[in-house]
Structure 1
Amino acid sequence: MTRIASCQCGQLSLTVEGEPALVSACNCTRCQKRSGSAFALSSRWNSNQVRDRSGKGLTYSRKGASGGNVLFEFCPVCGSTVSTSLELLPDVIGIPVGCFADPAFPAPKVAAWCESKLEWVRFPDGLLLLRDQTQPMDTR
């Protein structure tokens, strides 16, 4: 399966092949600010799944909560983040799920940084909830 992710204006896009390695919801306060939403929904792809990249992006780098650098590529025209990469996982590319604008996109399997999620957010049963990015939450 081929999927195309693009920014709002269409100037910057990525074409990926196959299924994402992971779909996750991040509740850290940095992702809340970056996405302007309650959490950021991201898909993770192995770099060899990216078949095409078109347009020109700008980048922003910051220290991630886990200590490594995170690089964000965004469109200089509309400002949409189209990809992320983690210094600690150089062969993985993150793409915000919303960039695909696909109602049939696979659901998340994991929600991370749940200790900072907004109190009213409820995730579906069966989703793995992590306290930070690695420690499961006690959901009893």
Structure 2
Amino acid sequence: MWHQQEIHLPETPRGFHLITNDIARALPCLAECSQGLLHLQLMHTSASLTLNENSDPDVRHDLDAFLRRLVPEGLSYFRHTLEGPDDMPAHVASSLLGTQLCLAVRDGRLALGTWQGIWLGEHREHGGSRRILVTLTGC
């Protein structure tokens, strides 16, 4: 089985957002796959995808706080500033965390650990809606 589609996510505020259920709901064909791989590719360069703690929202807060301190706005050596002070830090955060995930599928579901969830990292104040290209392969 090969399946590919685009998932559209609404605009979210800056920070990390748990999107595991959004991905699963958009892919009813997951139920037909007993084993396989799901590749997620975020079609943007100022946001990210990551797999992390899905229970305590403090983890999402703390990672956002860490990244804001690691890559603050207003660094004097950034040249790419025409799109606003949050744009270049967003590109750096996106590169650090990445824009792709490859996840196992088992018995018609994402094979995630007990406390794992898929997060969208929104690194801009007003990043807009986001698109994820998903590719499912399996049997």
- TM-score category of the 2 structures, normalised to the smaller one: under 0.3
The structure that has the greater radius of gyration is 2
Which has a greater percent of helix? 2
Q: What is the TM-score when the length of structure 2 is the normalising length?
A: 0.23
The TM-score with structure 1 as length reference comes to 0.23
